[in-house]
Amino acid sequence: METSIVISGFGGQGALFAGQLLTYAGMDAGKHVTWIPSYGPEMRGGTAHCVVIISDEPVGSPVVAYPDVAIVFNLPSFHKYEPLVKPGGLLVVNSSLVDQRSSRTDIDTIYIPANEMAEEWGTSKMLNIVMVGAMLSARPVLSLEAVEEALKAHLPANKKHLVEGNLQVIRQGFQFAAPAFH
């Protein structure tokens, strides 16, 4: 099985790290993976997105026009990727910054107040991990435990003090989406 995931937001919201985290967890789980980052005109405040593919077989192409999953942190990302999610796919929306609803009836959508949930644990910068947790609940392409282990192993040294908070928010995001998908 192959799952393509686009993660998109403003620079500094952690879209690229969220993609790296899923990629590391996939590698650690013995999956075939690709991670392609893309930066906007500036690192912070511009747009940043990445495409992650996690597969049981070798990945034919890292280019994805119509992803299985889109995780969107802000309104411009919502507008760009909501129409591109494959029918039957998943759209995870940061409802803290996106006040619009998808008009599509052929995809699953999760609206999660990721900024507020992350702030409960000290910083809104963990919103990316909240949203990864919600995505894993709806599409268990990797186990929550595998991603938690990758988080412990791959969080940058200057962020190691945030490990416990990140573990809490990924679980909170997972639980938030669970009623609709379990």
| Sequence ranges of the domains in the chain | 2-181
Given the candidates 3.30.460.80, 3.40.920.10, 1.10.600.10, 3.40.50.720, the CATH classification of the domain at 2-181 is: 3.40.920.10
Q: Are strands 108-112 and 90-94 parallel, antiparallel or unpaired?
A: parallel
CA gap 92, 80 in Å, rounded: 13
Least-confidence region, from 49-58, 75-84, 125-134, 153-162: 153-162
Backbone angles phi, psi at 95, to 5 degrees: -70, -5
| pTM of full prediction above 0.85 | yes
pLDDT in tens, 90-108: 999 999 999 999 999 999 9
- pLDDT category at 40 given cuts 50, 70, 90 is low
pLDDT, position 44 = 57
In the predicted model, is pLDDT for residue 161 greater than 90? no
Q: List C-alpha distances in Å: 161 to 92, 99, 155, 167.
A: 27, 32, 9, 11
